Structure 1
């Protein structure tokens, strides 16, 4: 692996992709909730609370100013039955773990190009 580049592969099928921006008033945790809701085809208010699966405040703290530090993070976890990948530059991918294929890079390009 090249220094400064991070690549994560998964075998699950992506069903929804989203982004958040550090310049936005919307924190990463809200973008994740919206992405999971979109994957389920419901409104975010219709989801059961995701706080039982993940500490949403910790997600915000992890990615706070992440794209400006040069130390991008990638977080992967399972929430509400979905595999969720969040990258420090704002990319979010929600995958269905019941649909699998050949392992491929979770995100198309390295996070720190």
Structure 2
């Protein structure tokens, strides 16, 4: 396992500790506090979800020597999934989760998936 993965794991632990501390110590009464919590959640989910994707890509191509490229690919998909989760929580937090907003977000998310799936 490369050394940068240990740094990513340590960063994930720190981010989740910040989320737990922020969620239990700060009441979500203002827009700013909710936005800060959702931003921290986005980064924590991105780094956490990218680790299983990295392990999947690494087992799929074990002889591939550029491991940072594999992590960048896994980071892209981790950010994509965490964006969907965080944006949906944001819709729920600000009471914007109507049927129309949910359908529009799903269409946008599907188009983003198609764009990310294509090779450049």
TM-score of the pair, normalised by structure 1: 0.26
TM-score of the pair, normalised by structure 2: 0.25
For the pair shown, the structure with the greater C-alpha radius of gyration is 2
The answer to which structure has the higher helix fraction is 2
Comparing both chains, which one has the higher relative contact order based on Cα–Cα distances under 8 Å and sequence gaps of 6 or more? Answer: 1
